[in-house]
Copies of this chain bind each other. A is one copy, B any other.
């Protein structure tokens, strides 16, 4: 966790993005590191946790990290928490909270509230369109015999 916090501080001071760092660990060994690069890399999704998971994919050459634990300098935002679910992590440790992030001007706490009522989201309008054709693509997927599930 001290390394995640050091990454957060170091790369924030270097002007790469917000004050966030993350480290992925397996069996006590560091697999990958990440830090926020949103404003320097023009990636709204380049949060520390996502960057760390991307680095882990390159290092491990797989897309599922069961058996790994993430140390994040801050409680993951909903995007990053869901990313950790998709990555099949065993556990997340975090230092600062979503409320600490909110107090520093980040939307984490707002997004948690918004996701909790995702069906009635008012911040970002969501509109169904071509719903039958959309479901049809999944029929193709179910029938695909050589698919790799994840």
Residues of A within 8 A of B (CB): 1-2, 5, 8-9, 12-13, 15, 17-19, 38-39, 41-45, 47, 50, 53-54, 57-58, 60-65, 71, 73-97, 100-101, 103-105, 107, 111-112, 114-118, 121, 123-131, 133-135, 137-138, 140-142, 144, 146-150
Contact = CB atoms under 8 A, between A and B. Distances in A.
Contacts of A75: 126, 128
Contact of A95 (B57, B62, B116, B134): B134
A63 B92 contact: no
Contact of A82 (B111, B128, B135): B111
A78 to B, nearest CB: 4
A56 B88 CA distance: 27
Nearest to A79: B82
Contacts of A50: 45, 50
Secondary structure at chain A's binding surface: helix, strand, loop or mixed? mixed
A19 B140 contact: yes
Most chain B CB within 10 A, of A9, A17, A18, A96, is at A96
4 A-B pairs with the lowest CB-CB distances in the bound complex, closest first = A95-B134, A96-B134, A79-B82, A42-B57
A10 B43 CA distance: 25
A54 B64 contact: no
B138 A95 contact: no
Contact of A128 (B79, B97, B131): B97
Contact of A129 (B78, B93, B150): B93
